[in-house]
Amino acid sequence: MYRATLLLACLLASLFTYACVPTPSPSSQSDMERQTIAIRRLTSAIEGEHWLESDPSVSGAELLRRACEKDKALCEPFAKSLVQVRRTEQTSHVLVCTSNGTTALLEDLACTPEPDRKAWTEKQACEFTLDPARLCP
């Protein structure tokens, strides 16, 4: 009887511990993987707008608007996110954050071949952290 009680207690304790461990929901994980793939297309389109626009005073937000106006499918994966764009002399820089603008999700420089920062795993503030002057040729 003592063994059965002990075994039951251990089983319940392990189930309780497993149930309390936070894990990302499958949908949010798959959403982030889709956004990771989609950010390259978006960054490339923004970079195209960057090089088409000779006026350096045109904002990153305007470049984003133009890119999405030409291909609405580019922005669909980010419909529930806040997307910010910075424009430097040599490249475009894209930051995707939660819709309330508190947490960074992805960060990408147009001058690199892969998405540069999967920030959703870091739980950091919605701020640009990559240095284009250092990372871009």
**53-96: per-residue pLDDT in tens?**
878 889 999 999 999 999 999 999 999 999 999 998 889 999 99
DSSP string, 68-99: HHH-GGGTGGGTTEEEEEEE-SS-EEEEEEET
CA distance 29 to 34: 9
Residues whose CB is less than 8 angstroms from the CB of residue 48 and which lie 6 or more positions away in sequence, other chains included: 67
Which residue would you say has higher pLDDT here, 111 or 56? 111
* pLDDT band with cut points at 50, 70 and 90 for residue 25: very low
pLDDT surpassing 90 at residue 26: no
Q: Report the share of the chain in percent with pLDDT over 90.
A: 59
**Residue 56 confidence (pLDDT):** 83
**Residue 1 confidence (pLDDT):** 54
Which residue would you say has higher pLDDT here, 18 or 103? 103
What are the extents of the domains in the chain? Answer: 26-135
> What number is the average pLDDT over the span 1-5?
47
CA distance 56 to 5: 74
> Burial letters for 19-28: b for 16+ Cβ neighbours within 10 Å, e otherwise?
eeeeeeeeee
